[in-house]
Structure 1
Amino acid sequence: MPSKPYLNFADVTKIAAAAQAEAIANNWAVTIAIVDDGGHLLSLQRLDGAAPLSSHIAPAKAKTAALGRRESKVYEDIINNGRTAFLTVPFVEGMLEGGVPVIVDGHVIGAVGVSGVKSDQDAQIAKAGIAALA
């Protein structure tokens, strides 16, 4: 039977700390969500000043990236390019940039979703968190 890596508590802690550091360094009030490969929430941090709604958006972005095995921006681009029927895809709510999959040895083992600033800045924070695993 094949095996694959997975996110453990230490990994989640590293990702969360690095993402938080990136947000704080830029003075960005955001929510950071980390999910496993099935989109199940492992960590949620709502930094001071982050809008309450961001605590719903960040996990949705992360879940979308984990289940889709690609950045959530891909889905935003599909919709913005005219394929609005994609909005009816089941189980996918966070179709905005800011959800980034965590990939180890070719396996998607989870994702990070960020919400609270511009979408490209959300993605920047998520990628900074993921880089802590390297």
Structure 2
Amino acid sequence: MTETPRLPGLTLADADRLVASALEVAAERGFPPLAVAVLDVGGSVISLRRADGAMPMTSRIAVAKARTALLTLRPSGKLELPGAIVDSIQHLHGGDYVPFAGGILITADGVVLGAAGASGGHAKEDEEAVQAAADRWLVSGNPG
């Protein structure tokens, strides 16, 4: 029997560690309850968790912020465009384009492995949580 191929990049174990770490960072820093998502390079969800007390809508927003990072190949809050263009991009991507901080690329050696997004705090807190998790993950030697 032939083994099913998988996309290059993050494994389920990687994604689970990134999500848990981001939720840990948020709790350590006193941020509001967050939802955190980690996606593969194709934009599909690998892992998604919502902390107790986080609003239900934060899950979908976390995924959209991560997809925005993948679409733009930069953090979700780093592409400033006029409203009409943002509206068009949101329409093209079924609402999965959120141009606010909180979505980042997960990279190693200049290669995109996936993306992470968070929602529930202020946008800068969302991004701080996922960026700290990604930094911890890189330092631990888990990439690729």
Tell me the TM-score range normalised by the shorter chain.
0.7 to 0.9
The reply on whether 1:43 has 2:47 as its aligned counterpart is yes
Tell me, yes or no, if the aligned pair for 1:5 and 1:104 is still in contact at 8 Å.
no
Decide which structure has the larger Cα Rg and report it. Answer: 2
Tell me, yes or no, if the aligned pair for 1:14 and 1:132 is still in contact at 8 Å.
no
The more displaced of 96-105 and 4-13 is 4-13
Structure 1 runs (4+) deviating above 6 angstroms are: none
Aligned partners of 1:129 and 1:43: how far apart in 2? 14
| Counterpart secondary structure, 1:38 | coil
The reply on whether 1:86 has 2:85 as its aligned counterpart is yes
**What is the Cα-based RMSD across aligned positions, in Å?**
1.6
Name stretches of at least 5 consecutive residues in structure 1 with no aligned partner: none
The reply on whether 1:12 has 2:15 as its aligned counterpart is yes
| Counterpart secondary structure, 1:74 | coil
Matching residue within 62, 69, 72 for 2:73: 69
Deviation at 1:5, TM superposition (A): 5.1
Matching residue within 7, 26, 30 for 2:29: 26
Equivalences for residues 122-133 of structure 1 within 5 A:
122-133=126-137
- Aligned-residue sequence identity (percent) comes to 33
Match of 2:124 in 1: 120
Name stretches of at least 5 consecutive residues in structure 2 with no aligned partner: 1-6, 139-144
Aligned partners of 1:31 and 1:111: how far apart in 2? 14
TM-score (normalizing by structure 2): 0.81
TM-score (normalizing by structure 1): 0.86
Aligned partners of 1:97 and 1:44: how far apart in 2? 18
Aligned partners of 2:109 and 2:11: how far apart in 1? 16
Match of 1:110 in 2: 114
Tell me, yes or no, if the aligned pair for 2:70 and 2:115 is still in contact at 8 Å.
yes
